Each structure stands twice: as C-alpha cells, then as structure tokens.
Amino acid sequence: MSHLPIELNLWVIPPLISFLASFGLGTLALVKGRGRKVNLLLAGICLLGSLLSLDKALASVVVDPDMALRISRTDHLFVVFIVPLYLHFTYTFLGITTRKWLLWLAYAFSGCLSVLSQGDHYIAGVQQYFFGYYVQGGPLVYVFGVATITNTFYCLNLLFRSLGKEKDPDRKNKTKYIILGLGMAVLMTHFDLLPLTGIGTYPLGNLAFIPIVLLAFAVLKHDLLDIGIVVQKSLVYSLLTGLLTGSYALMIILFDQLFKGIGREASIYFLVFFFLVIVFVFDPLKKRVQVIIDRILFRGKYDYQKTLAALSDAMASMLNLDEIVEKALKALTGVMSLNWGFVMLVDERERQFQVHSQMGNSLIPKGISIAKSSPLIRETGRRKREVTRHNIAEWSSACKDGTLLREDFVKLGGTVIMPMVFKGKINGLLVLGNKKSGCLFTPEDLELLRTLANQCAISIENAKAYQVIESLKNNLEKIVEGRTRELTRALEEREKTQDLLIRSESLAAVGALVAGVAHELNNPIASVSSLVQSAVETLETMPVGQPVKAEGNAGAEVELISDLKFSLKELDRAWIAPEAL
C-alpha cells in the first residue's frame, strides 16, 4: 500500500479509539445537554480532545512529513483553547462567579496562541518516531505547556476543595467522576509534551480514552451532567458498535501487515473479501453480543422488574390502605435500592396531599403538604405522567406557572414524582429519591413505576371503598340497636299513654257518677237541713217550759210534725241499703 499517502500500523489504534470516545461523548453532551452551559463546555473540551486524538492518529499513518506538519498546525489552531475551556467548565460546574478576570485572561492568551500557532515559533517541524510523525515544538509550545499544566492543577485544586466541603452525596459523587474522568484525561495529555521536546516516548495522551470511557460511564449511569436518561442503553449499544468496529479495523491492519508479501493486487482483493465478510457477520454478531450484555449488565434490573410485577399482582388483593402503601413503598426502596421515598395521599376535607407513609433516611419536613390546586398537581394530572429532575425544566417552560411548579418540585425534594391516577384524577403521589448506587432511573424503570403507581391508585380506591363498607358494617349493629331502643322506648311511652288515657276516662266516669250521686244526696239532705233549721227556729221562738200542745201553738205543732215527717222521708230517699252496695 506504498502508493497511498498513509501506511496503517498498530500505533494508530489508541489515538483512534480516543478520538471515537471523545467525539462520541462531546456529541452526546452537545445534542442531549439541553443547551445547558456546563454541558456545552464539556462538549467543547471533548471535541477539542477528539481533534487532538485525530491529529495524532493521522500523524501515525501518514508517510509525508509535510502533510503531518499541516495536520498538526491546523489542529493546534483550535486545541490551544483547551486552557480557557477547562477553566470555564470548572468555574461553571462549581458555580464560581468570582475571579472572572482570570477566565478572560485565559481566553485572550489562547486567542493569541491560536494566531501564532501557524508559525515556526510554535511548531518548528515534525520528527519521525517508531509510532509515526510527531511535531517538534518551538518556544511558544513550552509556554503553552506551562499554561496547561498550571491551569490543570489549579482546576483540580478547586475541584478537590469543593469535594471536601460538599455535603450532598449526589453532588459529591459527580465531583469525583469529574476529577477521575476529565481531570485524568487532561493530565494524560500533558505527557504529550515529551515527544515535542525530542524524547521518543509513546504519547500517553493516546490512552486518554480510558478516563474518557470512565467519564462517559458516569454521564450515563450517574447522570453526571444532567444530560438525560433516555440515551443510556442506546449509547451502550453504540459504544459496543464502536468497539466492534475498532476490533475489525485492528484485524484489517494485522492481516495487512501479515500479507504484505503476497503482492499488491492479492492484498487488495483479500482486504475486499475480508471487508465483505465483516459486513455480513457484523450485524448478527452485534445482536448476539447485545443480548449477552443485556443479560450481564441489566440482569439485576430484570430481577427487580419481576419482583415489582409480582408485587403489583399481590396488591390487587389487598384491602388495607396502610398495608398497601407501606408494602409498595418498602418494596420500591428495597428492590430499587433507593435512599428514601414517601407516599402522599389526598385529603378531600383539607383539599391537599399529605405524607401518609415514608421509608429511608430522608428528613421530610414536618407537616409537608401540597395543595390540590398547585401547578405541580395540575400539570401531572394533565400529562398523566411523572415529573423528574430531568424534565422539570421542560415542564416549567411549558407551564404558565413555571416558577411555582419548580418551587413545588423542590419542596418535595424527590428525583422522581410519580402520580397515582384513578379515573383521570390523582389520588396520591409517589415521591422517590436517588438510588444508593447512583444509577439513573431508566425508561424501563419509569415505565414499571407507572404501572405500579396505577395499580396503587386502584388498590387505594378499593381500600377506601372497603373501609367505607367495613365502617358501615361495624356501625350497622349499633344503628340497629339504637333504633331498637328508640322503638322500645316509643312503645313503652305509648303503653303509658294508653294507661293514662284509660285511667283518665275511668276517673272521668267515676267523677260523673260521684257527681250524680252527690246531686241525688244533696237534694234530700238540703231539704232535710232546711226543714231541720226551720224546726229549730220554730222551737227557739216558743216560750221555755210551755207545752208544745198548748193552746195557740196547735198550728205550729202540726207544721213541725209535718216538717219532721218530710225530713224522715227525704232521709229515707238518701239512704242506700247495704245490700245495694
């Protein structure tokens, strides 16, 4: 292959892999970073790193020194901006707003070097080593080297100091990966200065793909820069594809080296044949490896999905509200290895959601609640899906009460807030914290949580209905007993009333009888009393000692006798014989 301007060799593999890893991570941060400043800066650093790796990969295979020099000078036209970009990224990630003058000074310094990078004072020429051509630096390269080393150690010092002061475990975990991933990658590139000085050591920066892969792992698995969770599995497969492609390229290079002596035309035909074999074998092999990776990397995830699915089936038969909530929460925090979680249920009387049960080590503020009319409840009810730390910004921008929506989300403090929807209405909220492992909630996790939340919503409504029925059942006997007592009391009062009525009627009859008897007795007694009184008065008018039958008193005697006889007659009329009683 001497007619071509390149000559493949094994030394091109490390910088080529570093190029692919850096370019892939930079593209991911640029496309999926939602335009956040820290992600754009990370994308800039990775893309500049990929440009530097591409430069070294091309310099390893080109056979023309002038071409190698042109490639390197073009590369360094942009690579010099790695100094301000790394400083800017560190400031942005740590939230440093002071010493901005240092940042502008770094940009001005790199701008000047970019202009001067095309002259001999920056790159004097190229030298051939066992790993290919490599540039020979001029005086300005040493200035650039001192600036990059000083800047790197300054940034690492800021990161380490922040790591010591950080209290949030999630933030602390991210800072560690920034130091181990990006910091180590930048440090390794400093060893590229050795070949620039004429020391024929293999550039250690060619192996920067190792910390870059670690950084990519942190971005995907621990959501290092809030890039998102939807790319996790797809990017794993993309990296797998890249590794397979790299392995095939390595095989091509090896066979090219082995069969150089068989002639140019035979070598070309062999490479074409080998390429066709790769094309037809590549896709089936990739699918097979994907299945193996699913079984190895995601095996635990499938296990807890089965566990939660079984829990969902079991909850359908539960009728105790406390048991449903506590069992679901315990299963989630245990199987998913969550730091904490709590369930909020709606209180219709208060018209707000209140904490019903909680698990884990979260310090939930006492009496925390959220109104049914809050923007968070309204928006989750409208969308019928979860709100997470990743989509809260999107939701806030699309909601007219975006600020209040974000405040409600921050107040609850969850990573994922899953609504429990029943017949179009939210009857509860499932608020979950981070996983202990630092892993993200994958789309499969969220889909499973939606199913479980919907099952919880149904089970909660069933439990509430059962509680109402059970309450009616428990109170029914008391109600019947109370009604029975009331009826008994009414019957007793009725009987008493009837007795009183009968007695009053009897007394009325007796009274009427007594009145009649009294009337019948009063008439003769009155007559007798009157006659006796008249007789007494007559006797009182007669002289004392004078005989009744004396002359002149004959009329009085007859009248007195007549009155007495009448009195006896009236007394006989008033007399009641004992046998008549």
Per-residue pLDDT at 86: 93
User: Is residue 331 a contact partner of residue 312, using CB atoms and an 8 Å limit?
Assistant: no
- Beta-carbon contacts of residue 569 (< 8 Å; ≥ 6 apart): none
Instruction: Mark whether 372 and 291 lie in a shared domain.
Output: no
- Within a domain: residue 394? yes
Q: How far is CA 416 from CA 262, 409, 430, in A?
A: 63, 9, 8
Structure tokens given for 401: 């009460």
pLDDT winner (highest mean) among 222-231, 301-310, 501-510:
501-510
Whether pLDDT at 295 is above 60? no
* Distance from C-alpha of 417 to C-alpha of 390, rounded to nearest angstrom: 11
Same domain, 186 and 129: yes
pLDDT digits (tens, 9 = 90+) for 564-573: 777 777 777 6
Mean pLDDT along residues 219-237: 59
Same domain, 20 and 158: yes
Structural domain contains residue 532: no
pLDDT for 232 equals 53
Q: Which residue has the higher pLDDT, 20 or 238?
A: 20
Q: How many domains does the chain have?
A: 3
DSSP-assigned letter for residue 95: T
Question: Are residues 307 and 265 located together in one domain of the fold?
Answer: no
| Mean pLDDT within 433-437 | 80
For residue 557, being part of any structural domain is answered with no
> Roughly how many angstroms between the first and final C-alpha of the chain, as a whole number?
158
Question: Tokens 């038969």 belong to which residue?
Answer: 317
Q: Are residues 85 and 198 in the same domain?
A: yes
Q: Which amino acid, residue 446? A: L
Task: Tell whether 517 is covered by a domain.
Answer: no
Out of 429, 444, 461, a domain closes at 461
Which amino acid makes up residue 333? T
Are the C-beta atoms of residues 189 and 49 closer than 8 Å to each other?
Answer: yes
- For residue 2, pLDDT over 50 is answered with no
Residue 457 falls inside a structural domain: yes
Residues 405, 320, single domain; the answer is: yes
Confidence of residue 91 (pLDDT cuts 50, 70, 90): very high
In a domain, 434, yes or no: yes
Give the helix/strand (H/E) hosting 306: helix 299-315
CA 274 vs CA 262, 266, 271, 279, 455: distances in Å: 15, 12, 5, 9, 54
- Over residues 470-497, the mean pLDDT reads 80
Q: Are residues 29 and 147 in the same domain?
A: yes
Is the model more confident about 560 or about 363? 560
Range with the poorest average pLDDT among 205-219, 291-305, 472-486: 291-305
Is 511 within a domain?
no
- Residue 317, φ and ψ in degrees, nearest 5: -100, 0
32: pLDDT confidence band, cut at 50, 70 and 90? confident
Q: How confident is the model at residue 104 (pLDDT cuts 50, 70, 90)?
A: very high
Same structural domain, 218 and 257: no
Tens of pLDDT, residue by residue over 361-417, are: 666 666 788 888 898 888 888 888 899 887 888 888 888 888 888 888 888 888 899
Q: What is the Cα Rg of the chain in Å?
A: 54
**Burial letters for 519-532: b for 16+ Cβ neighbours within 10 Å, e otherwise?**
eeeeebbebbeebe
| Local confidence band at 1 (pLDDT 50, 70, 90 cut-offs) | very low
- 112 is a domain residue: yes
Return the C-alpha torsion angle 249, 254, 255, 259, nearest 10: 140
48 and 164 inside one domain:
yes
Q: Kindly tell me if the per-residue pLDDT of 270 is higher than 80.
A: no
Q: Is there a single domain that holds both residue 147 and residue 274?
A: no
pLDDT at 92: 92
What is the mean pLDDT of the segment spanning 525-536?
A: 73
**Do both 291 and 307 map to the same domain?**
no
Q: Which range, of 109-113, 342-346, 483-487, 558-562, averages the lowest pLDDT?
A: 558-562
* CA–CA distance, 421 with 456 (Å, rounded to integer): 9
Q: Across the strands, what pairs with 346?
A: 353
Q: Which residue has the higher pLDDT, 275 or 452?
A: 452
Yes or no: say if 113 and 123 are a contact pair by the CB < 8 Å rule.
no
Average of per-residue pLDDT across 438-452:
77
Q: Average pLDDT over the chain, rounded to whole?
A: 78
Domain range spanning residue 262?
A: 231-297
pLDDT confidence bin for 205, thresholds 50/70/90: confident
Nearest to 79 by CA among 141, 13, 125: 141
Residues 55 and 158 in one domain: yes
